[in-house]
Amino acid sequence: MDFTKILEMLAGGMLKSMGIFILTLVFSLPLGLIISFGRMSKNKIVSFIVKIYISVMRGTPLMLQLLVVFFGPFYLWEANIGGPYRFIAVILAFALNYAAYFAEIYRSGIESMPSGQYEAAQILGYSRAQTFFKIILPQVIKRILPAVTNEVITLVKDTSLAFAIAYTEMFTLAKQIAAKETTFVPFIVAAVFYYIFNLLVAVIMEHAEKKLNYYQ
């Protein structure tokens, strides 16, 4: 297999990795916000359950969670886990896991907001939803962006964990080619791809941070 062929195959894998990456963010960022509300809920039972959820998600390996989500339906209900379920399981496991991390980040950001912002908004007659979405959340986003960037960069690398359930993203492909062709090249190419991917992510996040620097 020549180099261009390897490159071509891995580029295809890269697209799949990006698919995992983007869909995970699309689902986990809003889900994390909802979970953070649960975590901060005045209802003790709700906040306790959510606390347990977050601690399990953060306290066990993502690879294990992937296996549970993928094989769980089969062992529990002998459900068919073939076909598109492999991909669904990847996104489900990643989104559930990352949402837990994001929830804690949101929570720290929301709790760091001075009460004066809520009070000023209340006096001016803003509704609770307006207060949160117009006044609080934009400031929270600015505060948590560095922490979110860290998670997002970890996510780029974590997409390779999908190999655990044999979803053929870039890393799985690289391993397959390397074994078949007894060459180390695919790993190097994959590393370069991951690195460029992350560079791109870093540039985008830096740009976002700069855009939010219009105020302090």
Partner 1 sequence: MNLLEMNHIKKHFDDLEVIKDISLSVREGEILSIIGPSGSGKSTLLRCATMLETIDGGEIRYLNDRAVYMGENGRAVMPKGADAKRIYSYFGLVFQNFNLFPHYSVLKNVMDAPLHVQKRDKAEVKKEAMEWLDKMGLADKADAYPYQLSGGQCQRVAIARALASNPKILFFDEPTSALDPELTGEVLKVIKSLADLHITMVIVTHEMQFAKDISDRVIFMDKGVIAQEGTPEAVFSSDNARMKEFLGRFNQN
Binding site for partner 1 (CB under 8 A): 114, 116-117, 119-126, 130, 134-135, 138-139, 142, 214-216
Pick 121 or 162: Cβ nearer partner 1: 121
Pick 86 or 143: Cβ nearer partner 1: 143
Pick 39 or 142: Cβ nearer partner 1: 142
Q: How far, in Å, CA of 55 to CA of 156, rounded?
A: 22
Q: Least CB distance from residue 111 to partner 1, whole Å? A: 18
Q: Least CB distance from residue 128 to partner 1, whole Å? A: 10
Tokens of 164: 């655990």
Pick 43 or 127: Cβ nearer partner 1: 127
Considering Cα of 11, then 13, then 16, then 17, what sign does the dihedral take?
A: negative
**Buried b / exposed e across 170-202, counting CB within 10 Å, b at 16+?**
bbbbbbbbbeeeeeebbeebbeebbeebbeebe
Q: How far, in Å, CA of 147 to CA of 102, rounded?
A: 9
Q: Least CB distance from residue 32 to partner 1, whole Å? A: 21
Q: Least CB distance from residue 125 to partner 1, whole Å? A: 4
Q: Where are the alpha helices (DSSP H) in 40-114?
A: 44-59, 62-77, 85-111
Helix axes 85-111, 3-39, angle to 10 degrees: 50
Q: Least CB distance from residue 29 to partner 1, whole Å? A: 19
Pick 76 or 129: Cβ nearer partner 1: 129
